[in-house]
Amino acid sequence: MVHSGKKLRRKKKDNDDRATISQVFDTYTRLIVARLINNRVISGLFGCISTGKEANVYHSTDGKHKPLSADVEAIKMPKNKENIASFSSSSSKAPIDSSTVSEYAVKVYKTSIMQFRDRERYVEGEQRFEKGYKKHNSKKMVQLWCEKEARNLMRLYKLPPSLSINTPRVIAKKEHVLVMEFIGKDGIAAPKLKDAAPFLPHTRLVKLYWELVRAMRTLYVHGRLVHGDLSEYNILYYKKKPFIIDVSQSVEKDHPMSDVFLRMDIHNVTSFFMKYGVCVMKRKRLFDFITA
């Protein structure tokens, strides 16, 4: 069969897109994303916000308000690391009318087993999850992490307004894909505290420190959780407030290691604010304040 040049180019492009999608997601993950689109939970995946060791996070919008692409091939994916950067910065071009459409962040956990080895210590001793945790089944393990993150976020979101902690609201959870509220606007994610801090005035940093002290205590006393990986990397700065994210490894306060994890969290937050000259509480005092 003879193809015209244009047809050939289009065919090559289609093949490239397909190759890219399969490189990023396995078939199973593509199916889950397609279902989320077909069920009008999300409208697609517009841009990659973050590629981490354990998960990739994409920007999306509410599926009810947009024309739907029923086909998984419509999910546009970046081709490589360079493209991820440009794709990310151009993601504001996604067809969003932020006055009517809610923006979502879609966290897709990676299904490869290696990344999750050192996470066992967070699950062992967790009555909520220990039973379902199957070390030999990576798919199940990853789903459990996603489940843990969704449940922890929901628990925090349900706290009464007087005890509220700023976290993303959970929209949906399907297998190892978590759809949550997007912290940011028009496709631009809020910066991590680490990146925002150098540009903030001292008084704002002092306020943020005390807000985080309060948040850690609320998390412990009312949420009955210890974050377990709290640092300037897992706090987003949005609307002048700290938003706590990435709670998949958070443990119940009666977990045998919870004190160790809490001390780590306190250490990270304290050293970060000390670096910026904020007058901080002694670590031991802060620990007593949180747990008292």
192 binds, among Mn ion, ligand ATP, none (CB under 5 to 8 A by kind): ligand ATP
Task: List the one residue out of 222, 156, 233, 162 whose CA is nearest residue 197.
Answer: 233
Single residue of 189, 208, 262, 290 touching ligand ATP by CB under 6 A: 189
In three state form, how does the secondary structure of 128-184 look? CCCCCCCCCCHHHHHHHHHHHHHHHHHHHHCCCHHHCCCCCCEEEEECCEEEEECCE
What would the two tokens of residue 130 be?
């220990």
What would the two tokens of residue 186 be?
């028009």
- Beta-carbon contacts of residue 3 (< 8 Å; ≥ 6 apart): 11
Q: For ligand ATP, give the closer residue by CB, 153 or 290.
A: 153
Q: For Mn ion, give the closer residue by CB, 91 or 234.
A: 234
Task: Sketch the per residue contact string, 133 through 172, with ligand ATP: x for CB under 6 A, - otherwise.
Answer: -----------------------------------x----
- What region, left, alpha or beta, does residue 63 occupy, with left being phi > 0 and alpha being psi -120 to 50 degrees? alpha
Subset of residues 207 to 236 that bind Mn ion, contact rule: CB under 5 A: 234
What would the two tokens of residue 12 be?
């090559």
Stretch of residues binding ligand ATP (CB under 6 A), selected from 27-35, 65-73, 154-162, 181-189: 181-189
Q: For Mn ion, give the closer residue by CB, 21 or 237.
A: 237
Single residue of 56, 246, 258, 287 touching Mn ion by CB under 5 A: 246
Subset of residues 101 to 120 that bind ligand ATP, contact rule: CB under 6 A: 105, 107
139 binds, among ligand ATP, Mn ion, none (CB under 5 to 8 A by kind): none
State the minimum distance, in angstroms, from the CB of residue 248 to ligand ATP.
Answer: 7
Catalytic residues: 229, 246
The answer to whether 80 touches 127, Cβ cutoff 8 Å, is no
Q: What is the torsional sign of CA 182, 187, 190, 195?
A: positive
- Beta-carbon contacts of residue 190 (< 8 Å; ≥ 6 apart): 183, 184, 236, 237, 238, 243
Stretch of residues binding ligand ATP (CB under 6 A), selected from 77-85, 133-141, 182-190, 205-213: 182-190
Contact residues: ligand ATP, CB under 6 A: 49-50, 52-55, 57, 105, 107, 168, 180-184, 189, 192, 233-234, 245-246
Contact residues: Mn ion, CB under 5 A: 234, 246
